[in-house]
Amino acid sequence: MLRTLMRTVADIMTRDLVSVDSGATLTAAAQRMSGRRVGAALVFDGERLEGILTERDVLRAVAEGRLEGATAADWMTRHPETVEPTDSPSTAAMLMIHGGFRHLPVVESGRVVGIVSIRDLMKVVLDDESPRGA
């Protein structure tokens, strides 16, 4: 438990971001996510974070039969919640649980520096729960 309290989001976030332009087709965005084996892509307009596109968003578009001509901007979550690298994993977890999402962009001084997922947070929990010396 003590180790979790000392960690920050910066310790567990992914820095190798999957990103797409807001005008990218939904199909191209989904292919990029699939190719990198991730559940979310950050959507940018130039250098500015516009939103986050998740596998759930892609699934909704498929279910509604609206892939033709669809862009990442059409299906993304605009202005997503974010955390800072200095925030605790607990803060990130609370935002995810209360917001009902599984990915959070990590922003420092207005610039995206990473992304943290529910999987990243579970690794922290599992590391802290594993027997010492194992």
pLDDT band at 132 (very low <50, low <70, confident <90, very high): low
- pLDDT above 90 (res 131): no
59 CB-near residues (< 8 Å, 6+ apart): none
28-83 per-position pLDDT tens digit = 999 999 999 999 999 998 888 999 999 999 999 999 998 899 999 999 999 999 99
User: Is 134 domain-assigned?
Assistant: no
Q: Which residues contact 93 (CB under 8 A, 6 or more apart)?
A: 118, 121
Provide the domain count of the chain: 1
Instruction: Tell me the CATH number at 105.
Output: 3.10.580.10
The predicted pLDDT at position 4 comes to 44
- What is the reported pLDDT for 98? 95
Vertex 112: Cα angle to 45 and 91 (nearest 5): 130
- What pLDDT score was predicted for residue 46? 86
The residue segments making up the domain with residue 74 are: 2-129
Cα separation, 128 vs 114, whole angstroms: 23
pTM to 2 decimal places: 0.84
In a domain, 11, yes or no: yes
What DSSP designation does 89 have?
H
pLDDT value for 2? 43
Residue 80 lies in a domain: yes
Q: What percent of the chain has pLDDT over 70?
A: 90
Please give the mean pLDDT across all residues of the chain: 90
